[in-house]
Amino acid sequence: MKDKTVLKVGSNEMELVDFRIFKEEDGEVYEGIYGVNVAKVREIIRLPQLTELPGVAEFIDGIFDLRGVVIPVVNLAKWMHIKEPEDAYKNARVIIAEFNNILIGFIVHEAKRIRRISWSDIEPASFVSSKDGLDGSKVTGVTRIEDDSVLLILDLEKVVEELGLYTPNTEIVTKPSDKFSGTVLVLDDSSTARKIVKDALIKMGFDVVEASDGEDGLRRLNELYEVYEDKLNKNLKLIISDVEMPLMDGFHFAARVKEDRRFDGIPIIFNSSISGDFSESRGLEAGGEGYLVKFDANQFYDEISRVVGSHTIKGE
């Protein structure tokens, strides 16, 4: 996976690992088509010998040592409460993923290919229901592929949250010497993530305008320009954007902002679960002044202070 094709930053495209989970129902076997962002995938390996752990969630099949790192392994079929056919594991693979600076393995029945898809073709998973073997909260988006089949993009970070491996530090401590004011635009398709960021910003003294994706973010920017006109960059102090969002991702949004003279000088910080130096460098290439991995309140405070302070000095 390290040699994956590099997408042009700001192209509004993503690459997905297409994998399959098979379900047995009434004597028939059905193939579920799923995906995960390549940016979160370290590598894909054959199913190794696992060491079972007592007293853990039933969907954890065990742990194994990957070049000196102990990796917990989640059985996705069990997590989704899917009844598996007897021969489900003949082509099984483990997807080693990294997000929120955590490494974790996911057992899938088959890994098929890498797909390149436009974010504009990805829709929210509003129609996914429990009859599909999972609820909509386990899916971040859906897209149609060949033969009018539907690919579901799983929210694998929910597994990490359910296991208690990731607990965001949201206790922000402000410094009396820092006085913030003005507005911050926050983009994230997760209402939970937006609330965490919004609460932190309000505590720092900012007003917050929210957007659910890049297209919504551009609409909010245009509305703010109608209010402030040429004084926008003195009132809108910062844009904080997620990277993975349906319709328009954060990198493409940033490219659109940077090419519009009305928004000249408004700094952008990316706030994403995608971790690693490669993702950070892509964020800076996309025009971001900073890149944060969700969510550590202390790092968040320091980075906001640095970027907003630098922007204020430049604007004086």
Please indicate, yes or no, if residue 8 is contained in any of the structural domains: no
- Say if residues 291 and 284 touch (Cβ distance below 8 Å): yes
Question: Going by C-beta distance under 8 Å and a sequence separation of 6 or more, which residues neighbour residue 144?
Answer: 121, 150, 151
Please indicate, yes or no, if residue 207 is contained in any of the structural domains: yes
Please indicate, yes or no, if residue 125 is contained in any of the structural domains: yes
β-bridge mates for residue 108, sequence order: 93
Taking the C-alpha atoms of residue 268 and residue 290, their distance in angstroms, rounded to an integer, is 7
Other beta carbons within 10 angstroms of residue 169's beta carbon come to: 11
Same domain, 187 and 296: yes
Same domain, 50 and 157: yes
Same domain, 72 and 21: yes
- Listed as ranges, residues in the chain with pLDDT below 70 are 1-7, 126-137, 166, 176-177, 312-316
pTM over 0.85: no
Same domain, 150 and 188: no
Taking the C-alpha atoms of residue 305 and residue 313, their distance in angstroms, rounded to an integer, is 12
Residue finishing a domain among 103, 132, 163: 163
Same domain, 19 and 129: yes
Please indicate, yes or no, if residue 124 is contained in any of the structural domains: yes
Same domain, 157 and 187: no
What pLDDT, in 10s, does the model give residues 234-254?
999 999 999 998 889 999 999
Looking at the 3D structure of the chain, how many domains does it have?
Answer: 2
Looking up residue 107, the CATH number of its domain turns out to be 2.40.50.180
- Say if residues 72 and 107 touch (Cβ distance below 8 Å): no
Same domain, 203 and 64: no
Residue 272: its pLDDT value, please?
93
Taking the C-alpha atoms of residue 247 and residue 14, their distance in angstroms, rounded to an integer, is 11
Residue finishing a domain among 112, 130, 163: 163
Please indicate, yes or no, if residue 299 is contained in any of the structural domains: yes
Residue finishing a domain among 100, 132, 163: 163
Same domain, 219 and 97: no
> SS3 string of the chain?
CCCCCCCCCCCCEEEEEEEEEEEEECCEEEEEEEEEEHHHEEEEEECCCCECCCCCCCCEEEEEEECCEEEEEEEHHHHCCCCCCCCCCCCCEEEEEEECCEEEEEEECEEEEEEEEEHHHCECCCCCCHHHCCCHHHEEEEEECHHHCEEEEECCHHHHHHHCCCCCECCCCCCCCCCCCCEEEEECCCHHHHHHHHHHHHHHCCEEEEECCHHHHHHHHHHHHHHHHHHHHHHEEEEEECCCCCCCCHHHHHHHHHCCHHHCCCCEEEEECCCCHHHHHHHHHCCCCEEEECCEHHHHHHHHHHHHHHHHHHHC
Same domain, 249 and 302: yes
Same domain, 216 and 120: no
Residue 190: its pLDDT value, please?
86
Tokens of 307: 């970027």
Residue 295: its pLDDT value, please?
86
CA proximity to 310, closest of 254, 265, 262: 265
Q: Supply the range of the domain harboring residue 140.
A: 13-163
